[in-house]
Amino acid sequence: MFSLVMQFRLPGNHMTEDPVYRVGKTCSYTPWTSREILCDRNYMEVSVRRTLPDIQTIPKQPTGGPKARSGNFRRGAEAVASGYKMTAVVFSPSKNVMNVDEVQRKGYAIANTLTRLVLRSPHNAEETYLQNVAGVPMRVLSTSTFFEQKWLVTRVDATAVCPTPEAVAFTPEVITWYMPKHIDPLFSSDAFTMLEVYMGIDAKRLDTEEMAARNYSVLVTEAHIIVEIPVGAVGGYFKSHIQDDQYFVTYTIEPMLELLWIEEVAHENTSYKVLFPITTPPMARPPQVRNLPPSVTGYCDQENFHITVDYRNQEPFFVVLVGKRLLNHEFAQQYLTEGDTDFTITLPFSSPDAVFESVHSSAVRSRLDVALLNPYNNMTIKYFSLACSFLKTLTECFSNGTMTALAVKVESAPGLNPGQLTLSDPACGPTYSDDRFAYFHFTVNSCGTTRKFINNVMLYENEISLPDELEVKLNATTSSEQEYQLKVSCSYVANITRTLAFLTRPRDNEPFAETGTGRLMVRMRLAQGKRAQIQNFNLTPSL
């Protein structure tokens, strides 16, 4: 029996004294077996029972050996007065003989009580060796310890055998651990009975229900005890690694096996316990996207933007901002077409939701911005911008000497009022205007239009801009200078020859109209004093 008592002081209100909680636990040791073997992470340990009357314990406790988990080195060594003295340890198969001090300096730990001898060694110690047991590589430590008393010498044999990492086989789905059922270096004969087989994780036993819930399995065959653990099972953990800019993972778990057997000839039982950490080889894990974010694509035809939002395998959890306007029910009815996992917005290039980037003589470059927003915090999930050039006649020239020109408000002049634009003559303003367009109609010999001759062509030019005083006023109210100038022009052929065919022979007859009869439909409107009071009458005279 042993007891452990701990006191906990929990900090609380500084005005009062912190309360103290006392917690105690009393435990009992399990009965000793004839031999107990422990295979831990970094050491192997064997404890054997040998009744030697009055064995003198080692006066100096071992130091420098591997640390045990419990720290009590299997309940420690009791001071016993005796005439026997531990003199030497012989390692097999090398037959290397060391005294007790030398054993401890080599990194081994050794201790004894009246009834037990305990020996501990690192797995990779110099005197350990590999042995193939039933096809499984095992690490073996075999010793004989000598005790002397005057004319008497007594020998105590102690052997520990532990599995190596080569005892494990891996597939991408399953870890398989092979443990020999008959561990040859530990048996004096083939006659034995396996009394207990337990599996656990992290030094804790599991019952059959827990093992089934975790999909663990333990199979006992004639030659082996086979433990199978699914990769990724409960009880282990994954760890990430980067190798050559590639992503890998390893899976680590620490299974435990506890065996108890009895040899029928010697009638001695052995407790065998293995704590065996297992780590899989690195497994490549290319990034896999399960919940795909929405994607936005688009294209233009001659007149429209076509924007497609694909929300993949998820429900649409976002709101759509088209230009500066949220996509609502009314907007969707007019411009939106829905698919199974996507929808398409078709919008004219001249829509108020688009912006004009630049204007050319025969084309307008327009851009449509689309953003998918989180409805809870307005954060941008996806942003997409599509800009295209659309063929558009902005200036028209007529044979009667008149011109028309369309001025467009561009993004670089956000403060521009198109209605304030004029031709070169400030008196010539637009015929029609709104907040985005200004339409001009004028003759080529008015509004400050200039003419010049280029070879056989007459070129008429004018300029659409803000009057100087308005431009100065606009720049004073904005952070940057803005200048809007749009040149418009028309060209006419200066000299052209037309060919007309005619006959010089006199006509035989003068032109005349033949007399005929028929019905002539005449519609008359009569007004009674005011133009707005015109009445409609249908009179159909006969001729």
Same domain membership, residue 419 and residue 322: no
Backbone angles phi, psi at 265, to 5 degrees: -80, -50
Whether 7 is in a domain gets the answer no
Whether 135 is in a domain gets the answer yes
Same domain membership, residue 323 and residue 256: no
Same domain membership, residue 301 and residue 280: no
Whether 328 is in a domain gets the answer yes
Whether 8 is in a domain gets the answer no
Closest-CA residue to 249 (of 234, 262, 237, 267):
237
Residue 415's CATH number? 2.60.40.3210
Amino acid present at 168 = V
Same domain membership, residue 156 and residue 52: yes
In whole angstroms, give the CA distance from residue 530 to residue 527.
6
Same domain membership, residue 463 and residue 387: no
Same domain membership, residue 379 and residue 328: yes
Residues near 225 by Cβ (< 8 Å), separated by ≥ 6? 178, 179, 180, 181, 197, 218, 219, 257, 259
Residue 327's CATH number? 2.60.40
CB 267 within 8 A of CB 261: no
In whole angstroms, give the CA distance from residue 461 to residue 450.
5
Number of H-type helices and E-type strands within the chain: 4, 41
**E strand or H helix at 477:** helix 468-477
- Among 284, 312, 347, which residue terminates a domain? 284
Q: What is the pLDDT of residue 254?
A: 97
Region of 275 (left: φ > 0; alpha: ψ -120 to 50; beta: rest) is beta
Whether 430 is in a domain gets the answer yes
Whether 532 is in a domain gets the answer no
Same domain membership, residue 175 and residue 128: no
Provide the residue-wise pLDDT of the chain in tens; the chain has 543 residues.
789 999 988 776 666 677 888 999 998 888 889 999 999 999 999 999 876 554 444 444 444 444 444 444 444 333 333 567 889 999 999 999 999 999 999 999 999 888 889 999 999 999 999 999 999 999 999 999 998 887 888 899 999 999 999 999 999 999 999 999 999 999 988 899 999 999 999 999 999 999 999 999 999 999 999 999 999 999 999 999 999 989 999 999 999 999 999 998 888 899 999 999 999 999 998 887 777 788 999 999 999 999 999 987 777 788 999 999 998 888 889 999 988 889 999 999 999 999 999 888 788 999 999 999 998 898 999 999 999 999 888 899 998 889 999 999 888 888 888 999 999 999 999 999 998 899 999 999 999 999 998 888 899 999 999 887 776 666 655 555 567 888 999 998 877 766 777 777 777 777 777 777 888 777 776 666 555 455 444 444 444
Q: String of b and e for 132-160 (b: at least 16 CB within 10 Å)?
A: ebeebebbbbbbbbebebeeeeeebebbb
Same domain membership, residue 351 and residue 385: yes
- Among 391, 424, 445, which residue terminates a domain? 391
Same domain membership, residue 224 and residue 300: no
Q: What is the pLDDT of residue 442?
A: 94
CB 43 within 8 A of CB 123: yes
Residues near 211 by Cβ (< 8 Å), separated by ≥ 6? 199, 217, 218
The CA distances from residue 257 to 178, 218, 229, 252, 260, in Å, are: 11, 10, 13, 16, 10
Same domain membership, residue 153 and residue 40: yes
Q: What is the pLDDT of residue 456?
A: 85
Whether 189 is in a domain gets the answer yes
Whether 331 is in a domain gets the answer yes
Same domain membership, residue 154 and residue 53: yes
Q: Where are the beta strands (DSSP E) in 150-286?
A: 152-163, 168-170, 174-180, 192-201, 204-205, 217-220, 224-230, 237-243, 246-253, 255-263, 268-275, 278-279, 283-284
- Among 163, 189, 214, which residue terminates a domain? 163
Same domain membership, residue 260 and residue 307: no
CB 57 within 8 A of CB 78: yes
Domains held by the chain: number? 4
Domain around 201: 165-284
